[in-house]
Every structure is written in structure tokens, then in C-alpha cells.
Amino acid sequence: MERVCFLLKVRAERLAEYRERHAAVWPEMLRALRATGWRNYSLFLRDDGLLVGYLETDDFAGAREGMAATEVNARWQAEMAPFFEDLDGRPDEGMRPLTEVFHLD
């Protein structure tokens, strides 16, 4: 199993709406994430817009490819893209995993 952590930056003027949108993620998006192997997926948002994502999966590259092939992900990414700073493309393409330096089971 892979543990994946990544950082993105939400625009300050979009923080409230970003929180609202993630309080009501589309059911079909949730189903697609589960079906493509995303587990224990969490997003943490700091007041300055720093977004920390964490997930567990058997194959992160495969999970990303699986989501990229879904129509619901294309719609979600198109709607989410304007929320982020310093992105060139879709938010899911901007996920750059951090290197794990410590883990306690």
C-alpha cells in the first residue's frame, strides 16, 4: 500500500466556497474515487489556503489513471481548477507527492 501526501494552494478569495464544495462532493465522484482505488482520502485546509491531501492506495499511478478516464472527474477538475493558485492544468495533475521521511505504525 502506498501512502500519498501532496500540497496545493487554494486562492484566499475562494476558501469559503472551496470548503462548501467539499462538504457536498458529488456522490458519483465519491463512487469513482473508491472504484479506482483511493482509500482513506482526506483534505486539510489551512486559513492561508495551504491544502494538504492524504490518501492510501495500492497503486497511485493507476489510481490517477483510473480517475483521469472518468467523465465525472473531468467535470470535477474543470470546476475546481479556478480555486487554485500556481496551477498549470487540472488540480489532479498538480498533485506532486511529498517524500515520506517517517512513519509510525
Q: List, by residue number, the catalytic residues.
A: 22
| CA atoms of 49 and 44, how far apart (whole Å) | 10
CA–centroid distance for 34 within its chain: 13
The Cα–Cα gap between 88 and 62 comes to: 22
Question: Which long-range contacts link 15-21 to residues 24+ away (Cβ below 8 Å)?
Answer: 15/45, 15/47, 15/49, 17/83, 18/45, 18/83, 19/45, 21/79, 21/80, 21/83
